Structure 1
Amino acid sequence: MRIARALGAIAVLLVLWAPAPAVATGWMTLETPHLRVHFRPGYETAAMDAAAAGEDAVEALRQRLGSVPDRPVHVALVDDTDLANGYTDVTYYGRIIILPVFPVGLGYTTGLSLRMADWIRLVVTHEMVHAVHLDMAEGAARGLRQVFGHVPGFSTPNLLQPMAFIEGIATFEETELVTGGRGGDPLFDMFLRTAVLESKWPRMDEALGQYDLGYFQPAGHVYLYGYAWWDYVARRWGEDAIEEFQQEFASSGVTRPGEAVRRAFGESMEAIWKDLEKEAGERFAAQIEAIRRAGLTEPRLLPGSGAWVALSPRPSPDGRWVAYAASGPYLQDLRMVEWATGQDLQLAVGLVSAPGGIAWAPDGRYLYYAAVDEAGEGFFSDIYRIEPGSGRRQRITSGQRAWAPVAGPGGQLAFLAREGLETAVWWTGAPGVEPPRKVWKPPEGWQLLHLAWSPDGKRLALSAWKPGGGSDVLILPVEQERLGDPPRIGQAQSVTDDVAVDDHPSWSPDGRYLLFHSDRDGVYNLYACDTRTGRLARLTNVLTGAFDPAVSPDGQTVFFSWFGQGGYRLARLDWQALRWDPVTGDSRSREPDSPGGSRSPGSTEWKVRPYDPLESLRPAYWEPVWGQDWGGLYLGAGTSGEDALGAHRFAAAGAIGLMSGAPALYAAYAWQPGGSGPGYLSVEGGVEPVPVEEDGSGDVVRWQQMATARATVGWQRQGYAAGTAASLSLAQSWWREAYPSGEPWPAAERRTYAELWVARGGNWGDHVHLGSQQGWAQAVVLAEAGGRSVGVPEGLQVTGGWSLGLQRIDGQAVLAGLSAGVSGGHDLVTLDVGGESGAFPARGFDRATYQADAAAVGLQVEYRRRLVAIRQGMADAPTFFDDLSLALFAEGVAGWDRGGGAADTARPLSLEAAPWTPATDVGAELRLSVSLDYGRTPLVVRLGLARSLTPVAGLRWYLSLQAR
């Protein structure tokens, strides 16, 4: 058939062509003794820096953890997002993905600080700790690895540690090995000090995993408290004790962490945690008392929406509104609050906190902001403007990696943008019409952070991170012959030049004062520079932290972001209430700091060559495969793999029947360009025995040998506010009956089908209410051969659905969904109803009660309410109970069944006799949300009672366990 021939052609082309694309894109590999660093042209310097940091980390960890990976660690520099991060995977080998863009605006929630001496060194060191720590295998795990290779999960016992132990050891070692690690930073101190101050130190069971605790969890929680744990252990028992613990755990594998802690340190884990809490309280008490003695600043909170993170407050030109970037428990958005009344409005949904930036046009007509969203094959930041009155939005840049917009006189716009890993100041005289141009490039190595345009339009204030650590504020003179002409930028003038973090500059309305926040006294406070005299003054004295200052147009009020245990809130101070404490010492006396390590000796011997995916794609393990066919047991082996870029994946298994001699085979291959592109291709196929009939005792008395082949091409766009995905699959199946007596097989039967699937989903609403809408559609074309062919009209099946949800932070939710489908054959129509999918998933009926193969439609409405926020773990066990909720639901399903198919014997009561007779039910369901594996596996236990209403009445209990 044509479909079968097309399927075969696609499979052949994929196998022959797929290994080439990663090489064709120009990826290169830097080979060092312990690393393979993969990078694109233009990132050679970053690759060398990453290699140097990785080699230094390996040598240091050889001494500190007593281990080195037995295979080279692959490090890929993937610059496809403006959200800095790093990831480590040890499934097949040590594989690290580094998102090398400099982190701007991420420290508020992650604790990443501008005190870091070098971002690449810090993130590579952190991830290399994971690669070494998680690869450790001693005792039985090492023996398993020697026989079977790097079996995913079984040969890496340290993966069984709590997430706080895993992320905590990486943060601890990062702090010990590089300058500016998070553990010694004022941000981490602020998070811990505030927990002590407000008596919000978490219980041990809360801190061990990545759990939803129902409140803001700074620094990822497990990073913060995991670091505090290992730091306390090192200070009390010494760093050698950490190595001994890790070696012990790596040899036992299944040991609960509490048992390993008792063996290593001689005390229970719970007792040590309580001692840590007590010690932290004593350690921060003196600092808290000293701040109080100096006289506390008492800001006033702005009324508003109560977002977990509210940043970058910017008052409107008329002084009535304050725009800000918000992050709630569900999503991020751009908002504005009428600060006198508390009226709070959502303007746009988007990732507006990092890299960030909000600015009003001088006339108040527009609000400019930066948001990260999908652009091309990346996830980049761009500039938008919105009319607050109408809600009309316009995109000013596209894929330019721009942020920190500031509006100047005459409608001009300046902003920051990236070219690769470098940053510069850009300008346009007519936003959205005139192409932007670069107007100022900083010295090599600087990373620009935020901008502020002076009221007279003649100066740009700028904050910049400098190599060696710390960020400074400077002023750029702006000269223009005529308003709207491209500006000429004069020589930069330093306002500060030291290793403190000075950031987020903003001007007073008269242009005399330049406000910013700084950690120069160990606590984040607001500061100001008198630009006439150059003198610095501290404006606040808070116990927690004050950030992002902005002055009202009348000069009477300072708005800022104020940290507390519940997150960051908008606050204000009267201008007259500012302290104006003189800053002693020279703020322009930067002392060069060590970047935290130098390039490793022998780097001149490192080799650069084209990237070869086969180097990391080759099998790293094998595992036994077994099963049963009509002759009895079959045995074989299987393996799988993935290349360092994530572009190529494969799985293969083969076995043979010990008595039947029949094969059981499977092979699959998938290709995704660069490992992160929007498109993907896959092929798979196999041969396996399938049981088709059992006797009264449950023994299989008839088997089929089935062969399948499938090819899929897909595309997905995962934007923040909305996403779309689509795939097209072509597949064919062949099967023969096999009898245990060994009788000859009849002629092969076959089925060929094509499947098209399209889905679109999105988020809307505000950060308190999460609205989600999703629509999907699927069309399947079936063709069968077994003496005759079935025509396409009779073999066409189309299904689709739509759902809507509204959820509040207090645990209340309203859900609605519609699912429908038609079929031209005898295959049952699949619906999505009741939180499940299947031929008849209504909760008030057994699945075999009613079925439909011609057409069906299902509708559900559900109200859910949290009964108890349990949020309780089982000591050190990898189990955490989240919420217990009650759901009330109503469902209706109707369909038409042709009957006459072979499957009718499995249908006690079909819908054929009375087409479209509705089957309806109502009921209640208890839902217990559970997190396993320290938060990495979320599940929900559903216990329900449903009453069917039509066409017959009855009660039905059910119990299920599902992923969530």
Structure 2
Amino acid sequence: MRILAILSVCILQVMSMPISQANFAAWDKPIAENAATQWRVKESEHFAITYPESNVLMADKALNIAERVHLELVPFFGQAPEQKTQMALVDDFDFSNGWATFFPYAQIRLFSSPPDSVEGLEVNDDWLHTLIRHEYVHVLHQQMARGLPKAMRDVFGNIVLAFPHSMTPSFMLEGLATYLETNNELGYGRLQGSFYRMQMRTEVAADRLKTLGDVAVPLRELPLGMHYLYGSYFYQFLAETYGEKEIQHYLQKYSGEGIPAVMQNHSMSSVIGKDFDQLWEDYHQWLNTTFADQIKLLENSTAQGDVLEIENDRQGLFKDVSNSQGERFYFIDNNGEDNPKLTMYRDGKFAALIDINNVLAVDVNEQNDVVASRIITWADGRSWADLFLLTEGRAEKDWQTLTHKSRLRNVRWLDSDRMIASRKVKGISEFVLLNKQGDLQSLWHGEDETTVVGDFDVSPKGDYLVVAVKRALQGWNLERIDLVKTEPADDAIAFYSIKQWAQITNTKAIENSPQILADGRILFSADYDGIYNIFILNQQSEKLIQLTNMLTGAFEPKLISNAENQRKSQIIFQAYTADGFEFRSIELDDAADLSEFSLADKQGQYNYPKPFSLNVEKSTSEAYSPWSSLKPSWWFPFYSATPEATQVGLTTGGSDVLARHNYSLSLGIDWENELGDISVQYGYDNRYQINFQRSHDYVDVFDDRKPEYIVEQDRWIFARNYIANAYEDQLSLNAAIVVEREGTVARDDLFSVSCLDANVKRHKTCEKTLAGLGLKFDSREGYLNSPGFSAGRYFDLVYESNDVLVGLSDSDYSGGILQGQWQEIFDLPGKRSLSFQVIAAQADKNNEALTVGGDNRSAELGLFGRDDFALRGYASSVQGGHNMNVNRINYSQWLARIDKGWGIWPIGAGDLSANIYVDYGSAWQRGNSPEYLTGVGIDINIEVVAFYNLMMPIRFSLARGLDDELGGNRASIGISLPY
């Protein structure tokens, strides 16, 4: 009962935290040359913001926006947080996002990097405004409470049971935030964008509308992010059908439910008169009606391109990164099942060139040199983009690292030796010039974050750029940047500088992904009539030709030239479908059948009002201190009773605003036996870790069933990770001290005998104190549609000694232990993989023995303090000694995708997969020969989703030990671990 009580509390608190809360603010390393990160804090009436000192202007703007958003949104929800909402502004990521949570207090994380491509977020008046408004909706929504939940919050603080709206499907959470971020009058927000309308129109046209269960547990089924899409349209349906007042009534009703999650239908029925199942049927009818006329008008269009048949059965996830050069078309083939590959298409044939992942942009010059921008997640908490070069003719066909943490997200060749790349630092766009050696020079730097540079292209002669640009309080337009060539200095690379900017378009459409053709015309994608299509613009005549007429949408057009007949040149673009994106092609002269019109007919602009015009009163800037936010904001009691003991305890925890300091505390008191259990954990980002745990297990040994002795275990770990790191931080040097005491305590006596005396059968108490260093390399990758790890390598080498801390501890052991493991994972075609693993260890004779047996692989996951290794099909510790070797072969196979919840109820399932394995291992004493044991088995893994957000991968295992004496059939159930 005690374990279940503690587990319940842990589950409840994990549910309270979004996955993204693991994003601690990056280490305080230089963010600019000779400048370290200094964190500051400012406050307004309802908010406090923590920010890097170098980004004070954006922090001030964020407070102005937040206070205005507070005034606009609080009337909708009817209540506001009792304490100030904490905001943290970070510049750690080269992508656009943010998150909000009530745990352990109301807080918002703001990523300063604005969106610069068409994926839905581009429809905004100002990125910071859209982000703060969306995230503050989450804060206000989840803070709603009355009745019993409010009373529980007053007593226990911020526990999940006191926040009913945190235990609701993500489509209700994200849907409301997306609905309320949209401004129908001014025309911004995702529900006003052509991308969202395209996605939902495609769902309706394909007769693929998702069930309530599909959307309640969204994992991997397309469209990815369906909880945002379906959720926002669901709120729009409710507003149009019943009015916003009824939405508010439902939110108020549910905020008082004492049993959240299971009371969803009751709350909705009592307000609307229909439960969620009934409303979902009406919602489907509303969607069909809403899009029927547009679909009927477009479904018979012949100008939607021909599907480009790719040899493998690929499933498009996002738009693929692509580009063209002459007669060649290049793209990153990423189907979510296999290694992403740079692939070339030419003359109707495909050729996979080389593996590469996390690519943001790619370009090829006339010499077939390929440059790619890919994002790297570093150990310091940053995810930044850098450039990599693949040079034609090199003896070693591999990627050459061109830059290091330079944040270059997009890149185009200027000539055969130089490139122009763009980046965003502190939200401000910049163009840089660089050569093949990675030498950089700034070409242009924006004045502030309101000018956002998107995709761009370089003219064939290298004399100008065409750029997709979002100006302050406007939409996206195409602009021209003229380059002027300068005389080179002896040691300089700057042969070009920017002469001037000139506007090409000024429309309310989102013009994007331009490509400059040899004759000076511009090929691009735009949503002039609310649907993304492909267009060609003649810059001299300002005439537009429409090349496609899509039911869905067309993006990323690239021209493949035809040397014999230019008009027969092929345009490859990416078409959105209900199954994701696919490549399609049209011939350039097919435009004759479509419309031609003047650019002047589409001219117009937005002129959004400033969302930060409210200049609120702010406190003076102060140096950041974590102490004010580290105090516990919640606690929860637990109680357990067994024939041996009765225990009462509590658990609590906390973290600071930057999520660097994280701690938890659990304390249980056994009054009958006058013993206490305690668990304390503290972590400083991902570098420092301190754990202490004392627990007791009660054992009966007499007929009267009264406990005679207690098994006691103390475990204390101090770890320092990433002392040194390299190879994109896949290689790291780590250190730790592990102190562990285990043994028996009698009621009246403590037996103390040598832990190394194998002849002593009495109870004993043993202590070990290990200090060690560990070298670890981990390049394993997981793919969206494949189970576990799909490819890569893992190895570690660890040495630990009992002799380092002599005099500071009472270790019963001496000497050291050297151990290591190596794992190779091979990606097989489709949703499967094959891995080989070797684990070996050798301990000095006066060290604790090593054991093999059982199926607890989780004991091997830690880098330090490992002494027990799984050998499935056998009992735990079936063999022991000071030498150990375990070898494994594992085949992983995806079986089925459920990705569905049980209607609105808080239970669902994701993927079903299997592992077939062979274990071959032994542990033996020095001087003896190993007696290897073989075990075979199969795991069936199912992803169970509880309370909409809590992923619990469950493993059902059946193993057989093939040894006649020691082996046998063993079945178990536990947590599934990735291979």
TM range (shorter): 0.7 to 0.9
| 1:187 maps to 2:195 | yes
Q: Contact 1:523/1:544 (CA < 8 Å) preserved in 2? A: yes
Mark the CA change 1:611 to 1:954 in structure 2 (over 3 Å): closer, same or farther.
closer
The residue type equivalent to 2:550 in the other structure is: V
1:387 to partner: Cα distance: 2.8
Q: Contact 2:852/2:871 (CA < 8 Å) preserved in 1? A: no
Shifted more, 578-587 versus 765-774: the winner is 765-774
Query: Secondary structure at 1:241's aligned position in 2?
Result: helix
Which residue does the alignment assign to 1:647?
660
Matching residue within 504, 512, 530 for 2:513: 504
Which residue does the alignment assign to 2:608?
594
1:562 to partner: Cα distance: 1.5
Superposition pairs for residues 483-522 of structure 1, below 5 Å?
Answer: 486-510=495-519, 512-522=520-530
Shifted more, 564-573 versus 735-744: the winner is 735-744
Mark the CA change 1:703 to 1:85 in structure 2 (over 3 Å): closer, same or farther.
same
Which residue does the alignment assign to 2:776?
759
Mark the CA change 1:587 to 1:124 in structure 2 (over 3 Å): closer, same or farther.
farther
Superposition pairs for residues 302-321 of structure 1, below 5 Å?
Answer: 302-305=309-312, 306-308=314-316, 309-317=318-326, 319=327, 321=328
Which residue does the alignment assign to 2:955?
941
Q: Contact 2:441/2:494 (CA < 8 Å) preserved in 1? A: no
Superposition pairs for residues 315-330 of structure 1, below 5 Å?
Answer: 315-317=324-326, 319=327, 321-329=328-336
Q: Contact 2:780/2:792 (CA < 8 Å) preserved in 1? A: yes
CA distance in 2, matches of 1:818, 1:871: 34
Which residue does the alignment assign to 2:241?
236
The residue type equivalent to 1:558 in the other structure is: I
Matching residue within 793, 802, 808 for 1:773: 793
CA distance in 1, matches of 2:748, 2:91: 61
Which residue does the alignment assign to 2:872?
843
CA distance in 2, matches of 1:263, 1:210: 27
Mark the CA change 1:516 to 1:497 in structure 2 (over 3 Å): closer, same or farther.
same
Q: Contact 1:509/1:551 (CA < 8 Å) preserved in 2? A: no
Q: TM-score, normalised by structure 2?
A: 0.84
Query: Secondary structure at 2:820's aligned position in 1?
Result: strand
Shifted more, 741-750 versus 79-88: the winner is 741-750
Superposition pairs for residues 704-723 of structure 1, below 5 Å?
Answer: 709-715=716-722, 723=730
Mark the CA change 1:179 to 1:802 in structure 2 (over 3 Å): closer, same or farther.
farther
Mark the CA change 1:84 to 1:190 in structure 2 (over 3 Å): closer, same or farther.
same
The residue type equivalent to 2:50 in the other structure is: H
Shifted more, 650-659 versus 545-554: the winner is 650-659
| 1:360 maps to 2:364 | yes
Query: Secondary structure at 2:607's aligned position in 1?
Result: coil
The residue type equivalent to 1:479 in the other structure is: V
CA distance in 1, matches of 2:583, 2:85: 44
Q: Contact 1:775/1:803 (CA < 8 Å) preserved in 2? A: yes
Superposition pairs for residues 511-590 of structure 1, below 5 Å?
Answer: 512-554=520-562, 555=566, 556-579=569-592, 581-584=595-598, 586=600, 589-590=603-604
Superposition pairs for residues 197-216 of structure 1, below 5 Å?
Answer: 197-213=205-221, 216=222
1:96 to partner: Cα distance: 1.3
CA distance in 2, matches of 1:146, 1:723: 45
Which residue does the alignment assign to 1:622?
635
CA distance in 2, matches of 1:706, 1:833: 21
The residue type equivalent to 1:641 in the other structure is: G
Query: Secondary structure at 1:583's aligned position in 2?
Result: strand
Cα deviations by residue, 1:732-752 (Å, 9 ceiling, x for unpaired): 456897554599999997542
CA distance in 2, matches of 1:212, 1:765: 13
1:121 to partner: Cα distance: 0.7
| 1:819 maps to 2:825 | no
Q: Contact 1:440/1:489 (CA < 8 Å) preserved in 2? A: no
Matching residue within 409, 417, 440 for 1:403: 409
Matching residue within 22, 29, 52 for 2:41: 29
Mark the CA change 1:731 to 1:444 in structure 2 (over 3 Å): closer, same or farther.
closer
1:890 to partner: Cα distance: 2.4
Q: Contact 1:83/1:103 (CA < 8 Å) preserved in 2? A: yes
Cα deviations by residue, 1:43-62 (Å, 9 ceiling, x for unpaired): 12211222223223323332
1:35 to partner: Cα distance: 0.9
CA distance in 1, matches of 2:954, 2:885: 26
Mark the CA change 1:881 to 1:384 in structure 2 (over 3 Å): closer, same or farther.
same
1:853 to partner: Cα distance: 2.5
CA distance in 2, matches of 1:791, 1:744: 14
Structure 2's unaligned 5+ residue stretches are 1-24, 30-34, 754-763, 860-867
| 1:84 maps to 2:62 | no
Cα deviations by residue, 1:617-643 (Å, 9 ceiling, x for unpaired): 122123335568999545454431101
Mark the CA change 1:877 to 1:547 in structure 2 (over 3 Å): closer, same or farther.
same
Matching residue within 850, 854, 877 for 1:829: 850
The residue type equivalent to 2:61 in the other structure is: D
Which residue does the alignment assign to 1:904?
none
Q: Contact 2:824/2:836 (CA < 8 Å) preserved in 1? A: yes
CA distance in 2, matches of 1:942, 1:478: 64
The residue type equivalent to 2:168 in the other structure is: Q
Mark the CA change 1:658 to 1:872 in structure 2 (over 3 Å): closer, same or farther.
closer
The residue type equivalent to 2:843 in the other structure is: S
Which residue does the alignment assign to 1:173?
180
Mark the CA change 1:329 to 1:748 in structure 2 (over 3 Å): closer, same or farther.
closer
CA distance in 2, matches of 1:440, 1:688: 59
Q: TM-score, normalised by structure 1?
A: 0.86
Superposition pairs for residues 777-926 of structure 1, below 5 Å?
Answer: 777-782=797-802, 794-807=814-827, 810-824=830-844, 825=846, 827-829=848-850, 836-837=857-858, 839=868, 841-848=870-877, 850-897=878-925, 915-926=929-940
CA distance in 2, matches of 1:809, 1:595: 53
CA distance in 2, matches of 1:160, 1:768: 27
Structure 1's unaligned 5+ residue stretches are 1-17, 673-678, 899-911
CA distance in 2, matches of 1:173, 1:717: 46
| 1:349 maps to 2:352 | no
CA distance in 1, matches of 2:243, 2:315: 41
Mark the CA change 1:962 to 1:464 in structure 2 (over 3 Å): closer, same or farther.
same
RMSD over aligned Cα, in angstroms? 3.7
Q: Contact 1:629/1:703 (CA < 8 Å) preserved in 2? A: no
Which residue does the alignment assign to 1:391?
397
Cα deviations by residue, 1:432-475 (Å, 9 ceiling, x for unpaired): 15433325657872111122111122221111111224111111
| 1:950 maps to 2:967 | no
Query: Secondary structure at 2:65's aligned position in 1?
Result: helix
Cα deviations by residue, 1:266-304 (Å, 9 ceiling, x for unpaired): 223122112212221221121122234665333332424
Matching residue within 271, 284, 289 for 1:282: 289
Query: Secondary structure at 2:614's aligned position in 1?
Result: coil
Which residue does the alignment assign to 1:466?
471
The residue type equivalent to 2:870 in the other structure is: P
CA distance in 1, matches of 2:683, 2:898: 42
Q: Contact 1:630/1:738 (CA < 8 Å) preserved in 2? A: no
1:654 to partner: Cα distance: 5.0
1:501 to partner: Cα distance: 0.7
Mark the CA change 1:710 to 1:577 in structure 2 (over 3 Å): closer, same or farther.
same
Shifted more, 292-301 versus 492-501: the winner is 292-301
- % same residue: 18
Shifted more, 166-175 versus 800-809: the winner is 800-809
Which residue does the alignment assign to 1:931?
945
CA distance in 2, matches of 1:617, 1:535: 61
